Structure 1
Amino acid sequence: MAILTRHSPRVGGESENRRRVLTAAVIAGAGVAYALWVVEFLLPTRLSLISGFVSEHYVVSQPYHWLFRGGDVVSGVLYLVAAGLVAARWCSGDRLVAGMAVATALFGAATVADAVFVPDCLTTVDPVCERREFAAQVSWHHLAHLGSSVVSQLAAIVAVLALERLATRSGSRLDRMAARTGLIVVVAAGLACVAGYPFGWVGVPQRVQLVTFSLITLGVAWRIGSAAGGEILAGRGRRALPVRGADCDDES
């Protein structure tokens, strides 16, 4: 165990900078791809922004289903790669970083599954489809989509929670405020989706949650792209703190 401060020597070099920039670029790409759904504001889709799920664009009867599904596949793969890069670069002895990486990887895998396992029909548009779903009289891939959606929601919350704990441990005041605000919005929007479904306004909180998670992802990419971002993940923040696994990180 070592005591690390903001004045600790940096593990630098050209190779280190390249890895850091690569990680930041992959994370930024994931955030941008995950926000591809915003093109629904520009395209003549037939779904309501107020009551419809974004994933209902995946249904094969929808005109741009390959575009929306493709965006989620790309973003999910990039989240998986980003989780691997973060886990490989920053010591696995740090449980917060490890937890964030695992949750991010799970989120990426669930996001890909969301796009691969397509719903049979539009539950927010077709009452018959909604009744079939509640009675579990839909295809296995429709049920798999429901399961992967739940997993992605929970994984996103865990990842943002771990990020908030990292910011609290080693980040600046701005880092802490941004992470806590993001966590509150992601959790509140998720609860609002559940509460709003019977009233037909699930679309608004879901889209707020998706935008927030993309912004959090881009914020993480920006911070990792800076030297300070890497130090936060390594436990080198504003305050001197005992960091588990710091010796391992110092050897990387």
Structure 2
Amino acid sequence: MFAVPAGFPYRLTRDLMIAAGVLYCSLLLEAAAGYPLNVHTSFLSELGALDQSTSLYARAMDLGASVLVLVAAVLARPAARIHRDVMGLMISTGLFGLGTLADSFFPMDCAPSASQACRLAEKHGQDGAELVIHEVTSTLAGLGTIAIGLFAILVLRRIGWGGFWGKTVAVLAGAVAVTNAWLGLETGLEVISGDDLHPPGILQRVAILLVCVLLGVLLPALKRGFQR
């Protein structure tokens, strides 16, 4: 018979993850703000740039989401001690949370997609340390999301796919890993080559939406994976 490990507040942890998924969904802020940036050429993180009217709200949402997932990762330690895949899942969640937390404290000075001067400064390496730090922390968060997707699949493999619901979450987790890896490779190639290879906007928005949904369904779908 399955039981939640002693000291693991499953319901609180689940609710924190669901709330984090909502807060991380900056597409909601973008829609509420009337789509201030071109969805094809901009990154959602540009909503937090200091020259944007949405900056405070975007960074507050990132801060809230990161704090919630970090607290959830800490609360899940009793379950993580029992199962290695759960430990990997929560470490990945913590990595994602740390990257997102740093993003909220190190925003870009300006939004490249909305400012010619900002694009030129970025192209000629005059964008300052803030953008470099932001790129590093965003990469950290991206690696965390890829790992979350992979470890979620490992947990599902251990507990069984659980019919339609389990298979659906497995596909969602795989989609999170693939889209974020694809986005990371594309942006990495752009940084190395110095050229804009493909407008990143739609791909990134799909990747972020998938992460938001996965954060919300992760614990409800994998409840048995957190039990002894």
Provide the TM-score with structure 1 as the length reference: 0.77
2:69 is the counterpart of 1:79: yes
Higher helix share: 2
Q: Does 1:207 align with 2:200?
A: no
- Structure 2 counterpart of 1:132, which letter? A
Larger Rg: 1
Paired residue for 1:145?
A: 134
Mapped partners of 1:213, 1:47: distance in 2? 21
The answer for the alignment partner of 1:220 in structure 2 is 218
CA distance in 1, matches of 2:54, 2:64: 16
User: 1:11 and 1:81 mapped to 2: Cα distance?
Assistant: 18
Deviation sequence 1:151-205 (CA, Å, 0-9, x none) = 1111110111101110111131335422332233223323156548625521101
Matches within 5 A, 1:2-151: 8=1, 10=3, 19-87=9-77, 89-151=78-140
The answer for unaligned runs of 5 or more in structure 1 is 1-7, 224-228, 235-248
CA RMSD of aligned residues (A): 2.5
Q: Deviations over 1:91-115 (max 9, x none)?
A: 4142211111111111101101111
Q: Which has the higher contact order (CA 8 A, sep 6+)?
A: 1
Give the corresponding residue for 2:193. none
- CA distances 1:65-96 after superposition (whole Å, capped 9, x unpaired): 11111000000000101111112x30414221
What amino acid is aligned across from residue 46 of structure 2 in structure 1?
E
Any stretches of 5+ residues in structure 2 without a counterpart? 191-195
Q: 1:11 to 1:152 in 2, by over 3 A?
A: closer
Question: Identity over aligned residues, as a percent?
Answer: 23
1:164 matched to 2:153? The reply is yes
Residue 46 of structure 1 aligns to which amino acid in structure 2? P
3-state SS of paired residue (1:90): helix
Return the offset for 1:120: 1.9
Equivalent-residue separation in structure 1 for 2:184 and 2:37 (angstroms): 17
- Structure 1 position 222, deviation (Å): 2.8
* TM-fit CA distance, 1:139: 2.1
Q: Is the 8 A contact 2:139 2:184 kept in 1?
A: no
Offset, 1:129: 2.7
Q: What are the superposed Cα offsets for residues 120-142 of structure 1, whole Å, 9 maximum, x if unpaired? A: 22222334433433544222222
1:71–1:37 Cα change, 3 Å? farther
SS in 2 for 1:48: coil
Q: Is the 8 A contact 1:161 1:183 kept in 2?
A: yes
**Which letter does structure 2 place at the counterpart of 1:184?**
G
Distance 2:164 2:183 in 1: 27
SS of the residue 1:208 aligns to = helix
Q: How many angstroms apart in 1 are the aligned matches of 2:173 and 2:219?
A: 17
Tell me which amino acid in the other structure corresponds to 1:232. G
Using structure 2 for the length normalisation, give the TM-score. 0.85
Q: Mapping of 1:241-252 within 5 angstroms?
A: 249=228
Q: In structure 2, what is the Cα distance between the partners aligned to 1:185 and 1:222?
A: 18
Match of 2:85, SS state, is helix
